[in-house]
């Protein structure tokens, strides 16, 4: 009887480990791609309409972006509940990035962002997540919970220049932390931001 109990326990343990590494279906991966594309499209405001319609246009676009983000969050929460995080090693980079992007934009649900971050942390050393994505979500969670960020990925603008917002945990070591995550230096990151905004 004791031998059977051990076998059952080991089987349950093995199943639970494998369950957290389930492959997303092709339909789920396609859905994540559609949601990613929808978010990216919504974030590209029409500059001509901004000039002609002003605040009325930007307000309406803000509402639409918010609606899309919330809708997408509800879907990926269900995926996360049923399949966990889409590990790169099981689901590929594309599905992982698309999922992560939706989570990154889920600022209205910081508890969900924290839950995903904790799961991602478990896969850091084994290469199951992209280091860069972990760093960005870590800082986003810190920002959304009023704490200091580690990697300087979240920025505000002051006098036309990017600056860390919120503050950095350790400004002297930020570039060291960034390098560990495969990110360029903070100065290079800011130069990039200035070139696109």
Whether 115 and 192 map to the same domain: the answer is no
Given 110, 128, 147, the domain boundary residue is 147
Same domain, 29 and 77: yes
165 and 102 co-located in one domain: no
Q: Clarify whether residues 37 and 88 are in a common domain.
A: yes
* Helical H segments across 84-148, by residue range: 88-104, 110-122, 131-144
pLDDT mean over 41-56: 89
**Cα 30 from Cα 91, distance rounded (Å):** 12
Q: Does 18 fall in a domain? A: no
Tell me which of 147, 165, 180 is where a domain ends.
Answer: 147
Residues 131 and 191 in one domain: no
**Same-domain check for residues 30 and 78:** yes
How many Cβ atoms are within 10 Å of 157's Cβ, its own excluded? 12
Residue 96 lies in a domain: yes
Res 13: pLDDT: 43
Residue 197's pLDDT is what? 78
pLDDT, average across residues 5-16: 45
Mean pLDDT of 155-163: 91
Domain assignment present for 9: no
pLDDT at 129: 97
**Span 94-149, pLDDT tens digits:** 999 999 999 999 999 999 999 999 999 999 999 999 999 999 999 999 999 999 99
Q: Are residues 154 and 124 in the same domain?
A: no
**What mean pLDDT, rounded, does the chain reach?**
90
Phi, psi at 167, each rounded to 5°: -60, 165
Closest to 153 in 3D by CA, of 145, 130, 197, 141:
141
Q: Which of 58, 99, 59, 94 is nearest to 82 (CA)?
A: 99
Q: Are residues 133 and 162 in the same domain?
A: no
> Is there a contact between 174 and 151 (Cβ–Cβ < 8 Å)?
yes
| Domain coverage including residue 159 | 148-197
- DSSP β-bridge partners for residue 155: 164
Task: Say whether both 134 and 197 belong to one domain.
Answer: no
How confident is residue 20, by pLDDT bands cut at 50, 70 and 90?
low
Residue 81 placed within a domain:
yes
Instruction: Note whether 44 and 138 are same-domain residues.
Output: yes
143 and 165 fall within a common domain = no
CA–CA separation, 190 vs 175, rounded Å? 12
Question: Are 166 and 111 part of one and the same domain?
Answer: no
**pLDDT range class, residue 9, cuts 50, 70, 90:** very low
Number of domains in the chain: 2
**Residue 17: what pLDDT?**
45
């Amino acid at each position: 009887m004791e031998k059977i109990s051990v076998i059952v326990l080991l089987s349950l343990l093995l199943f639970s480990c494998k369950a957290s590494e389930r492959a997303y279906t092709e339909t789920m991966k396609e859905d994540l791609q559609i949601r990613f594309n929808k978010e990216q499209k919504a974030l590209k405001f029409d500059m001509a309409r901004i000039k002609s319609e002003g605040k009325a246009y930007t307000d309406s676009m803000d509402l639409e972006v918010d609606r899309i983000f919330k809708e997408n969050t509800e879907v990926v929460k269900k995926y996360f509940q049923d399949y966990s995080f889409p590990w790169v090693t099981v689901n590929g980079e594309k599905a992982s990035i698309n999922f992560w992007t939706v989570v990154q934009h889920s600022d209205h649900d910081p508890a969900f962002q924290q839950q995903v971050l904790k799961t991602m942390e478990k896969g850091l050393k084994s290469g199951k997540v992209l280091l860069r994505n972990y760093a960005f979500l870590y800082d986003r969670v810190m920002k959304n919970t009023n704490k200091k960020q580690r990697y300087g990925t979240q920025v505000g603008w002051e006098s036309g220049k990017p600056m860390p917002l919120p503050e950095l945990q350790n400004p002297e070591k930020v570039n060291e932390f960034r390098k560990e995550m495969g990110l360029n230096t903070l100065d290079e990151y800011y130069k990039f931001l200035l070139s696109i905004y």
